[in-house]
Amino acid sequence: MTDDVTGETCQWRGWREATERALYGPGGFYRRPEGPAGHFRTSVHASPLFAGAVAGLLGEVAEELGTSEVALVDVGAGRGELLTAVLAATARTDLVVRAYAVERAARPAGLDPRITWADRLPEPATVRGLLFANEWLDNVPVDVAEADAAGVARYVEVRADGAERLGAPVAGPDAEWLARWWPLREPGARAEIGRPRDEAWAAAVGSLAAGRAVAVDYAHLRDSRPPFGTLTGFRAGREVPPVPDGSCDVTAHVAVDACAEAGREAGGEAAAELVTQREALHRLGVSGGRPPLSLASTDPAGYVRALASAGEAAELTARGGLGDFHWLTQKVPPATG
């Protein structure tokens, strides 16, 4: 449907369809040559300590599986930065890493030939190792719902210029999802309908024959959903209004408890683990503690390196920043029988 002005800019769509086109369509935001790193700073770009922590996690998974040959699947791989860094971090270990990048953009020129590049998840139950999805689920497009003056949840429609209006009442599986995971109780309340993310995460967990699936994202839980949703945009390092014209990222926080339930139904162990990035990285040896001042006199160059590393670790684990990401971990045990 269009308004009284014809043209693509004036066509009304649900947020899911509009975001899909804006991010992944021809000329979309994530298909641009500069990639995500040209617009915002993720943990991968903040410090090589992050890749080192993922390499340590991969070693834990290999030990659990009783093997030195293990797969690492990076979902939402950007331009392959994390896989490249993990391969470098494991170069002097006994691990044999089978690296797979899942990204809808084209394979970058000059990427390490050991990395297999694909635009979709592996087939079900084919991966033995670690599936790692850093800031992937928040970019799986979702529809937005808003309660009208009568309290009826309706789809929010949007034009490419960011203008919005209320559309049809939410119905079917989307309505069931809202009722279970994010009820809208007051007129004007908004929610992002996370069902496509549940399905995406279930497929990711289901691709494992054995190992762990880890999703890292800004997230929220059923008891503390934001009353007006979290939909926003990012461009050139700044938060901007979410305009689905391909000029900016369009993202929303993840209803991570709903994803965890979908992962369990796809084969993950019932006891999914959910911790902050701060806690997850501390476990993996990434700490923002400053080196002892005495090191400055005995090894000045070492002190400077340790101080720089502590600063990077502090950024990765900072409250109010990257440290507040949630890490959802679901183990998939080897099949028996």
The secondary element (H helix, E strand) that includes residue 147 is strand 143-147
- Kindly give the confidence (pLDDT) of every residue in the chain, 337 residues in length, as a single tens digit, with 9 standing for 90 and above: 333 333 566 899 999 999 999 999 998 998 877 666 655 668 998 889 999 999 999 999 999 999 999 999 999 999 999 999 999 999 999 999 999 999 998 999 999 999 999 999 999 999 999 999 999 999 999 999 999 999 999 999 999 999 999 999 999 999 999 999 999 999 999 999 999 999 999 999 999 999 999 999 999 999 999 999 999 999 888 899 999 999 999 999 999 999 999 999 999 998 899 999 999 999 999 986 665 666 666 766 765 665 566 778 888 999 999 999 999 999 999 976 4
- pTM (two decimals): 0.91
- pLDDT score for 95: 96
CA–CA separation, 182 vs 176, rounded Å?
A: 10
Name the CA dihedral angle for 218, 53, 58, 257, rounded to a multiple of 10 degrees.
Answer: -20
Contact between 234 and 135 (Cβ < 8 Å): no
| 176's tokens | 């069931």
Nearest-CA neighbor of 256 among 329, 183, 156, 148? Answer: 329
3-state secondary structure at position 164: strand
User: What is the rounded CA–CA span in Å between residue 266 and residue 309?
Assistant: 39
pLDDT (0 to 100) of residue 4: 34
